[in-house]
Chain A
Amino acid sequence: MEISKHYFDTVIIGSGLAGCRAAIECIGNGSVAVLSKLYPTRSHSTAAQGGIGAALGNEEEDSPEWHTYDTVKGSDFLGDQDAIEIMCYDAIPTIIELEHMGVPFSRTPEGKIAQRRFGGHTREFGKAPVRRACYSADRTGHAVLFALYEQCQLKGVKFFQEFQVLDIVVENEAVQGIIAINIKDGSIHVFEAKAVIVASGGYGKIFKVTSNAYASTGECLSMLFRQGLPLEDMEFFQFHPTGLYGLGILITEGARGEGGILINGKGERFMERYAPTIKDLAPRDMVSRAILTEIREGRGIDGKDYVYLDLRHVDKKILEERLPEITTFCKIYMGIDPSEAPIPIVPTAHYAMGGIPTDIDGRVLKDVDGSTVYGLYAAGECACVSVHGANRLGCNSLLDTVVFGRRAGKSASSNLRTATKGRVTKERIQIIVDCINMIKNSNGRESVGSVRKDLQTAMMDKCSVFRIEEGLKTLLEEIKQLKERYKEISIKDKSNRFNTELLDALELGHMLTLAEAITASALQRTESRGAHYREDYPERDDENWLKHTFAFLTDKGINFKFKPVKITRFKPEERKY
């Protein structure tokens, strides 16, 4: 097999918002390579619809302090408050900078960046919804990603398109580089580097119904996890309340921000019962639970397993101007016009709050004591700073990617001078080559498709919005069986060129590892907090569980350690909206 070697000072994995933002920060300081398994602008950041949060106060009075409070409260007090404060205060210059880079934000009549309401964002510490989400119609992710990618092009960042990472080499407590495959011809490329920034995004594809892309499989997290590095707060996976029924395609929270309401089979605006103050604009975990509770109690539409998102009363002009994308989605996929008919929706797997633990400068932590892996950084959805805690607020994810993408890029660059060049050993490369050959030469009876489908169904059934000990235990058993079946996997495509079947098989192995980490983390947290809801432990338990989970993969299975939550200003209180 052909193997090429490259050297770059900084290698960035992923070309979404976090990856591109980090690249812009790094390009002035040494050579930078960005790897993406897709064409850069196909990254899933492009699917973000609603907005990016910042207390600009363009539409009404707002302050970063309120933003901080909302984020802390939204996180069910599991977010680290020092990091949250940095994010919310950095938000303002960050958005202004994005605007200067060319992001075509929608505008207020005075020509400033337009802002709208979003779930969980309030004024004066929870008094009423506030307009905080800066948006570009309902294509905010697309607008920001294109602008950042374009700036990368302008500054001459080197992109390796359709290169999939096969291994991130961490040896001797430092990152050495990465091993990747050029999808186009199947050749192996080794990138040695001083710094590696992981910005590989989420892993929603572990679940059956998800708003995430086919590419969101999370293999980079698993690669680090398998090398003994921890994954933080994996039990917290956000389900977005409004996914198109049967498809999981996202309908932005902005739809409710612009006045949309949720109604059940009886025609009631049921969110009034669950969050009397901000109703339909409650945080996502609460709304998702509320929807599924309505359905469970037989109040779905016609007793079926969905409810309606009603936009019929929203001004048609607003739909056309501010929500054109979701209007087309409804027309194309459901055959309905949201201005005339309500939209059937159901919660959909959306965002991973957990991930690779990092400090506020994107440095990857190797233990709960705060020690870091030399030269390894992470940012974006794959990372866990943690600013989202147990539940992310809408429009904070784009903010997270750009704020912490920038910080990770900055700290990676500033350490370049003292850093030593990484070295990827031949043995390490051989392991990857062997693994590929093993899959190609396998005569097993299992197919990628069937194992993947069973995994996604099992995760959806037992580890989604509602969880219970019994279910999680069965799920762990099922994952174990799936892992056995995975060993029997074989593929029909033996070629080198664009072998997506091989890549699917490799991704699936990593998805199984992650699924196990999620399930085991969910099983050991015996409380309900944010997106993690245990039916057998329905209450939040601050006394025992106000701490982050660090999952480690050892020879004996998954071990857990815990890191205290950083609490500065806002003491935990009951979370009511």
Chain B
Amino acid sequence: MEKYYTFRIKRYLPDENPSERWDEFRIKLNSMERVLDGLVKIKETKDGTLTFRKSCAHGVCGSCAMKINGKNKLACQSLVKDLPELIVIEPLPSLPVIKDLVVDMTMFFEKNDKVLPYLINEEPPPERERIQSPQDQHKILESITCIMCGSCTTSCPVFWANKNYLGPSALLKAFRFIFDTRDRATDERLARITGENGIWRCHSIFNCVEVCPKEIDVTKHILKLKRLAVKKGFTGGEK
């Protein structure tokens, strides 16, 4: 079943004057196609200058996060049949735009780097694998599914107002290692995330949870971090 959809897309082409504008494209898509298919079709047949990131096209790489009808989503996970006939597409909010729907994610990734995003364990490793019970592994199960698409952090009103806030994605990454029983750097990480731009900035607005394409309850993880920080006496960046 094919149907016509109107894609209203916010354009930003720095070489052109004016550099910002809204474009509308009318295209026919079938009920199995996704917003990303629509964008690809527009690029192939209507306007080759339309620019967006894409890669895996099934929601595992995190390239194509954008604001679709007022909400951050992966274009490859949004089926057009679930959307109204008019589809409004903008880049992710509150990050500098490079071109059209491509935003500069440097700031987003730098936040991630601040929480020591790697397993730290300097004890000599055993001959075989480190033992971890399934129950312990389940603690981080949700947090390891993060694909770092940036939907959560850029949907967070706290981040809109304060670009220094670590944001849900980086805090989730901190959780992933703090609650991994094999990691030994809990205190260093807690110190890094309990400063003035860390977990206490989270006001449980749940915008991140609403948008996460992997359905991670990010706020739940941040709240767990808050409870751990209190228990361990980290209230302002140090013990």
A→B interface (CB under 8 Å): 38-39, 41-44, 46-47, 95-96, 99-102, 104-114, 136-137, 139, 142-143, 146-147, 150-151, 153-154, 184, 213-215, 246-247, 249-250, 325, 328-329, 332-333, 447-450, 453, 491-493, 495, 497-501
The residue in A46, A100, A250, A328 that gathers the most chain B C-beta atoms within 10 A of its C-beta is A100
Contacts of B121 in A (CB 8 A): 100
A449 touches B118 (CB 8 A): no
Minimum distance in angstroms from A113 CB to a CB of chain B:
5
> Would you call B148 an interface residue if the criterion is a C-beta within 8 Å of the partner chain's C-beta atoms?
yes
Task: Give the docked Cα–Cα distance between A47 and B134 (Å).
Answer: 23
Task: Give the docked Cα–Cα distance between A106 and B136 (Å).
Answer: 10
Chain B, range 52-75, C-beta contacts under 8 Å to A: 52-63
A213 touches B56 (CB 8 A): yes
The residue in B52, B118, B127, B136 that gathers the most chain A C-beta atoms within 10 A of its C-beta is B118
Question: Which of B21-29, B40-48, B197-205, B220-228 interfaces with chain A?
Answer: B40-48
Contacts of A332 in B (CB 8 A): 59, 77, 79
Known pairs A106-B134, A136-B144, A143-B144; A492 contacts B60 (CB<8 A): no
Contacts of A501 in B (CB 8 A): 43, 48-49, 51
Minimum distance in angstroms from A556 CB to a CB of chain B:
35
B134 touches A111 (CB 8 A): yes
A448 touches B141 (CB 8 A): no
Minimum distance in angstroms from B102 CB to a CB of chain A:
5
Task: Give the docked Cα–Cα distance between A99 and B121 (Å).
Answer: 12
Partner of A104, one of B43, B59, B144: B144
Task: Give the docked Cα–Cα distance between A246 and B113 (Å).
Answer: 39
Contacts of A492 in B (CB 8 A): 47-49
B49 touches A38 (CB 8 A): no
Minimum distance in angstroms from A328 CB to a CB of chain B:
8
Partner of B63, one of A42, A95, A101, A110: A42
Known pairs A47-B58, A143-B144, A498-B102; A247 contacts B32 (CB<8 A): yes
Q: Which 4 A-B pairs have the closest CB atoms?
A: A449-B44, A102-B119, A492-B48, A150-B118
Known pairs A102-B118, A501-B43; A495 contacts B15 (CB<8 A): yes
14 further A-B pairs in the complex, CB-CB below 8 A; given A41-B61, A104-B144, A142-B144: A39-B105, A100-B125, A104-B180, A106-B134, A107-B134, A111-B133, A151-B118, A332-B79, A333-B32, A333-B58, A448-B48, A493-B48, A495-B15, A501-B49
Residue of A nearest to B176 (CB): A104
A153 touches B137 (CB 8 A): no
Contacts of B48 in A (CB 8 A): 447-448, 491-493, 501
B131 touches A46 (CB 8 A): no
Residue of B nearest to A104 (CB): B144
A107 touches B180 (CB 8 A): no
Task: Give the docked Cα–Cα distance between A205 and B117 (Å).
Answer: 32
Known pairs A136-B144, A495-B15, A498-B98; A113 contacts B61 (CB<8 A): no
Task: Give the docked Cα–Cα distance between A109 and B132 (Å).
Answer: 9
Known pairs A39-B105, A42-B55; A449 contacts B15 (CB<8 A): no
Minimum distance in angstroms from B186 CB to a CB of chain A:
14
B148 touches A41 (CB 8 A): yes
Mark interface residues in B179-207 (1 if CB within 8 Å of A CB, else 0).
01011000000000000000000000000
B15 touches A497 (CB 8 A): yes
Partner of A213, one of B55, B79, B118, B130: B55
Contacts of A108 in B (CB 8 A): 134
A107 touches B137 (CB 8 A): yes
Task: Give the docked Cα–Cα distance between A114 and B137 (Å).
Answer: 11
Contacts of A493 in B (CB 8 A): 48-49, 51
Partner of B118, one of A105, A154, A447: A154
Partner of B132, one of A42, A111, A246: A111
B98 touches A142 (CB 8 A): no
A104 touches B137 (CB 8 A): yes
> Would you call B145 an interface residue if the criterion is a C-beta within 8 Å of the partner chain's C-beta atoms?
yes
Task: Give the docked Cα–Cα distance between A247 and B129 (Å).
Answer: 38
Mark interface residues in B95-131 (1 if CB within 8 Å of A CB, else 0).
0001110101100010001000111110001011111
B43 touches A146 (CB 8 A): no
Task: Give the docked Cα–Cα distance between A329 and B49 (Å).
Answer: 31
Minimum distance in angstroms from B129 CB to a CB of chain A:
4
A447 touches B49 (CB 8 A): no
Contacts of A136 in B (CB 8 A): 144
Residue of B nearest to A161 (CB): B109
> Would you call B140 an interface residue if the criterion is a C-beta within 8 Å of the partner chain's C-beta atoms?
yes
Residue of B nearest to A112 (CB): B129
Task: Give the docked Cα–Cα distance between A563 and B21 (Å).
Answer: 58
Mark interface residues in B156-186 (1 if CB within 8 Å of A CB, else 0).
0000000000000000000001001011000
The residue in B60, B63, B215 that gathers the most chain A C-beta atoms within 10 A of its C-beta is B60
Minimum distance in angstroms from A248 CB to a CB of chain B:
9
Task: Give the docked Cα–Cα distance between A184 and B43 (Å).
Answer: 18
B133 touches A107 (CB 8 A): yes
**Listed A/B pairs (9) with beta-carbon separation below 8 Å:** A44-B55, A44-B56, A104-B140, A147-B119, A214-B54, A246-B32, A332-B59, A493-B48, A495-B99
Known pairs A101-B119, A147-B119, A215-B55; A46 contacts B147 (CB<8 A): yes
Minimum distance in angstroms from B18 CB to a CB of chain A:
15
The residue in B61, B104, B137 that gathers the most chain A C-beta atoms within 10 A of its C-beta is B61
Task: Give the docked Cα–Cα distance between A104 and B137 (Å).
Answer: 7
Contacts of B60 in A (CB 8 A): 46-47, 139, 142, 325
Partner of A329, one of B58, B133, B147: B58
B132 touches A142 (CB 8 A): no
Partner of A150, one of B57, B117, B133: B117
